Structure 1
Amino acid sequence: MLEISDLCVEVAGQPVLHDINLSLGEGELHVLLGPNGSGKSSLLATILGLPGYRITRGEIRFDGAPLRDLSLQERAELGIGMAFQRPPSMGGVSVSAFAAALGASDILESEAAALDLSDFVTRDMNVGFSGGEIKRWEILKLFLQDPRLMLFDEPESGVDLEHVSAIGQAIRRITRSNDRKGRPRAGLVITHTGLILNYVEADRAHIMKGGRLLHSGEPEALFRHIQSHGYTVPAAA
């Protein structure tokens, strides 16, 4: 579904990503591990097409088609969605009105309940939400938007353990399901704590540092290595 080849990216003239190669197949969930400032969020922003991220070499393909010349809106219309780490507040736009605009009012109640957000559906989006509530709302937003490729920017950061479990279960459920047209989905989760690995069933994990993908491997084994040796390439690699 997603194919990244020899990708180099700069922001304000400064290189932030170097020679990134990554493939994500239908139905797969990958986890991107790395310290703060390693380029993880920059990679997601480039895939989504956020302003300021300029590809200087390489390409990104979604379902075989290049994304380079497409706007953020065009990429969203293709089926790419993101749960942001720090989304804006939207006063005057309630959660229920947002769901109605997406034609997703029928699933709002059940999905909000699964994320312990039933009391939030009449409130304005992110207005007065705590950090953990914002993270849960971002996951609920993806259920409402119904994308095929889902990008999760540190979904467990700032969330209490009880709700990390709910977020992990929701990520696992949505990435392993089909969209409303019956097409398989896929997901890419970035994290520096690795805590989310306790609650999702990732197919592949990648270490990122200094804007480069250093190594890919089995998620649990790779995280154990990181816990003991930091963000380094395993000796047996």
Structure 2
Amino acid sequence: MLVVLLSREQSRFFVSHLGAVEEVYRVKGQRIRGMLTDRVPRDRRDALASQILKDEAKALASIAETIGREFETSYVLLCAPPDMGAAFRDHLSKAALARLASFEAGVHASAAEIGAAAAAAQEQLRVREEHELVGRLLEADPAAVSTGTQETLDCLREGRVLTLVADDSYATPGSHCRQCQSLFEATQVSTCPICRAADVEAIDDLVEAALEQAIDAKAHIEFIRDPACRSAFAGMGPLRALLRY
């Protein structure tokens, strides 16, 4: 997640990943009122200050978009005064706006303090993402989603998995063919039904093995953790996939 703190004094940009928050960029704020000298008529100062604010917000939004692309962030968490926040939003892409949430923190806070302050907003985004994912699985064309755990494992072997979705609480033993790398729900497999090799081993965690194969295949991995989402996913899961083809 991209975490953005905006203020008149300075603007700070952080990246949050796996619970760690790191500051990656800082911009000194423009002293807007100080730029409006006595040479500017009083009746024009508010309009000029507003334009300067918009220009600054446009630049900050561009920085945010650039950092987001560089670090491949999925969401933006924003902390800003109302006027700066509104101007900043005006210059974000539609994709970024769809993945935006707000939180409150001090502009001089440490990275750890910012991480703690943003935790609730991060959780809110995570739950929202899970609901959207379950909705995609429910609404997907039957040909675009796997049916059942074994079919999901078969699709992994065939390289067809775009996104592997797993109930985070699910754990079960299974079997693994050392020859062709196939995975099976069944635990008592003596001969691989795919390559006919007799080199099949029992494994303690079928889900972990599936996740490793998904990573090797450069597939996305999504976990279902929210109780309401887990309940909706139960009828489909505990292991499903959105398919490439």
TM range (shorter): under 0.3
Whichever structure has more helix as a proportion of its residues is: 2
Structure with the bigger RCO (C-alpha within 8 Å, sep 6+) is: 1
Who wins on radius of gyration, i.e. which is larger?
2
What is the TM-score with the length of structure 2 in the denominator? 0.24
Instruction: Determine which structure has the larger strand proportion and give its number.
Output: 1
Provide TM-score, normalisation by structure 1.
Answer: 0.25
